[in-house]
Amino acid sequence: MGRYFQEEIETASREQIQEWQNKGLVATVKNVYDNVPYYKNLMDKKGVKPEDIQSTADLHKLPFLTKDDLREAYPYGLLALPLSDCVRIQSTSGTTGKRVVAFYTHHDIDIWENSCARAIVAAGGTNEDVCHVCYGYGLFTGGPGLNGGSHKVGCLTLPMSSGNTDRQLQFMTDLGSTILCCTPSYAAYLAESIHEKGIQDQIQLKAGIFGAEAWSEEMRHDIEEKLGIKAYDIYGLTEICGPGVSFECEAQEGMHVNEDYFIPEIINPETGEPLPDGEKGELVFTTISKEAFPLIRYRTKDITYITREKCKCGRTHARIHRLMGRTDDMLIIKGVNVFPSQVEEVLINQGMPANYQLIIDRINNSDTMEVRVEMTPEMFSDTVSVIEKKEKEIVSALKSMLGIYAKVKLVEPKSIARSEGKAVRVIDNRKI
Ligand code: DLL
């Protein structure tokens, strides 16, 4: 297979990429204007017609799309094809009320799996490899995406899904897994477990493809050293397809965006103005190949910058720098998206006052969340067992809302520091 999954595409000239993008953009804009009333309405409001868009230089004329639009149009309002042409949905983790649902045709799954296959080959994968996928399977895109990419490359694919570390390690040693796909925090946890059990000699891993949450260069070095592998970053979001929107190559100097499928832009999050290469801002994507759920100028809220400088690996597609945070308050805990407002909703439903704080940490390389919430003066005079019972009730309500465990601690009235301005709801002690 060589160094690339699709060499001609991945190493195409900038002129060629530009031509694909211009053509794809013009066709996509015409398609959504003609077939998706929601888009027509947005474009009409902005006074822009499909004829005004001739190339990527006209991108800035188009309206943005946000997660709120996706929620408003839920579930079918942004579909560009009849449902009979769609074969799959995926959905985002942990959002309140209406989740975001993305639709796929056979073609859409194909380009998504190509994206993941490119990532696997960029990490050194071939059909000789045993690809161990422990991202979650189901509505989350991590498992299905890497699974599909692994099939395309011809690796022996282990659809492990997440959890059950003992079983993960057993398969990893018995079947000789060589490529590990999971969140960086789970990779670090697996590395620790391997050392605790003293089974380093039985591990044959050579590479890891880690994403879905922020991680640091330090964490990369730590995982690489403990597992004896090269650790590659992979980025993506459900709305655009899932993992594989961009991926790292052997140079490990930023993630190549699959520019034949997605046009990246960086904007100033306050003004919406496009920013030049090298300047940090909010990442925005326009899809130019998707059929069922094309998105135009979708604001990811992720912060990074773009470079189009030549990469040592020979790939010509633009790169984004390791993600540098988000413009909103969404937290990613154990790969699950959590908004403080969701926690607030649970607390209020449980009859608690909205004086609370979330303490996020990374202990033994695994994310933890503690919810501290003030009791009312009446509760404060309750017995310890009544208070403990209430804590347990909140733990289980949070678990069913968020899908993850959070420790709950009821604290004295007025013991959470009040701030002058906006409430400080989140204390994130993770060093990432
Ligand atoms: O997390 C898709 C994915 C699965 C990517 C597996 C990589 C590997 P969502 O659940 O929709 O999709 O969450 C998307 O996760 O907007 C980022 O804020 C964050 N994110 C994803 N990859 C990275 C990364 C999947 N490599 C949101 N570094 C995005 C930092 C990441 N943040």
Per-residue pLDDT averaged across 86-100, rounded? 77
Q: According to the model, what pLDDT value does residue 432 have?
A: 64
Pairwise CA distance, residues 163 & 183, whole Å: 12
Measure 66 CA to ligand 1 centroid, in angstroms: 16
Q: Is the CB of 134 under 6 A from ligand 1?
A: no
Q: According to the model, what pLDDT value does residue 186 have?
A: 87
Q: According to the model, what pLDDT value does residue 98 have?
A: 65
Q: What percent of the chain clears pLDDT 90, i.e. is strictly above it?
A: 78
Confidence of residue 329 (pLDDT cuts 50, 70, 90): confident
Pairwise CA distance, residues 180 & 197, whole Å: 18
| Segment 42-72, tens digit of pLDDT | 999 999 999 999 999 999 999 999 999 999 9
Q: Is the CB of 269 under 6 A from ligand 1?
A: no
Q: According to the model, what pLDDT value does residue 2 have?
A: 78
| Segment 8-44, tens digit of pLDDT | 999 999 999 999 999 999 999 999 999 999 999 999 9
Per-residue pLDDT averaged across 94-109, rounded? 82
Measure 246 CA to ligand 1 centroid, in angstroms: 10
For the ranges 130-134, 159-163, 187-191, the maximum mean pLDDT occurs at: 130-134
Which structure tokens are listed for 22?
Answer: 């211009």
> E strands, 316-365, where?
319-320, 331-333, 336-338, 356-363
Per-residue pLDDT averaged across 119-130, rounded? 98
Residue 97 CA: distances (Å) to CA of 62, 329, 346:
29, 17, 12
Q: Whose CA is nearest to atom 29 of ligand 1?
A: 237
For the ranges 185-194, 275-284, 329-338, 369-378, the maximum mean pLDDT occurs at: 275-284
Task: Tell me which residue of 72, 82, 67, 80 sits closest to 35, measured CA to CA.
Answer: 80
Task: Tell me which residue of 369, 368, 375, 372 sits closest to 356, measured CA to CA.
Answer: 372
| Segment 137-185, tens digit of pLDDT | 999 999 999 999 999 999 999 999 988 999 999 999 999 999 999 998 8
Measure 142 CA to ligand 1 centroid, in angstroms: 9
Confidence of residue 419 (pLDDT cuts 50, 70, 90): low
Q: What is the mean pLDDT of the chain?
A: 93
The length of the chain is 432
Pairwise CA distance, residues 24 & 39, whole Å: 17
Pairwise CA distance, residues 375 & 354, whole Å: 10
Q: Are strands 319-320 and 306-307 parallel, antiparallel or unpaired?
A: antiparallel
At position 231, the amino acid (one-letter code) is A
Q: Are strands 426-428 and 179-182 parallel, antiparallel or unpaired?
A: unpaired
| Segment 293-327, tens digit of pLDDT | 999 999 999 999 999 999 999 999 999 999 987 88
Beta bridge partners of 131: 157, 179
User: Apex CA 130: angle with CA 128 and CA 132, to 5°?
Assistant: 155
Q: According to the model, what pLDDT value does residue 15 have?
A: 98
Measure 188 CA to ligand 1 centroid, in angstroms: 17
Measure 144 CA to ligand 1 centroid, in angstroms: 14
pLDDT reading at 353 higher than 80: no
Q: According to the model, what pLDDT value does residue 422 have?
A: 42
Global confidence as pTM: 0.85
Measure 236 CA to ligand 1 centroid, in angstroms: 5
Per-residue pLDDT averaged across 400-405, rounded? 91
Q: What is the DSSP string of 194-218?
A: HHHHT-GGG----EEEEESS---HH
Q: According to the model, what pLDDT value does residue 99 have?
A: 79
At position 321, the amino acid (one-letter code) is H
> E strands, 288-338, where?
298-304, 306-307, 319-320, 331-333, 336-338
| Segment 357-399, tens digit of pLDDT | 999 999 888 899 999 999 988 888 889 999 999 999 999 999 9
Measure 116 CA to ligand 1 centroid, in angstroms: 13
Q: According to the model, what pLDDT value does residue 1 have?
A: 60
Q: 166: number of CA atoms within 13 Å, CB side?
A: 0
Q: Is the CB of 236 under 6 A from ligand 1?
A: yes
pLDDT reading at 423 higher than 80: no
User: Is the separation of the CB atoms in 153 and 120 below 8 Å?
Assistant: yes
Q: Whose CA is nearest to atom 9 of ligand 1?
A: 237
Q: What is the DSSP string of 397-416?
A: HHHHHHSS--EEEEE-TT-S
pLDDT reading at 421 higher than 50: no
Q: Whose CA is nearest to atom 4 of ligand 1?
A: 142
Q: According to the model, what pLDDT value does residue 206 have?
A: 98
pLDDT reading at 95 higher than 80: no
Q: What is the DSSP string of 109-172?
A: HHHHHHHHHHHHHHTT--TT-EEEE-S--SSSSHHHHHHHHHHHHTPEEEE--S--HHHHHHHH
Pocket test for ligand 1, best of 235, 241, 336 (most atoms within 8 A of CB): 235
CB atoms closer than 10 angstroms to residue 334:
21
Pairwise CA distance, residues 247 & 314, whole Å: 14
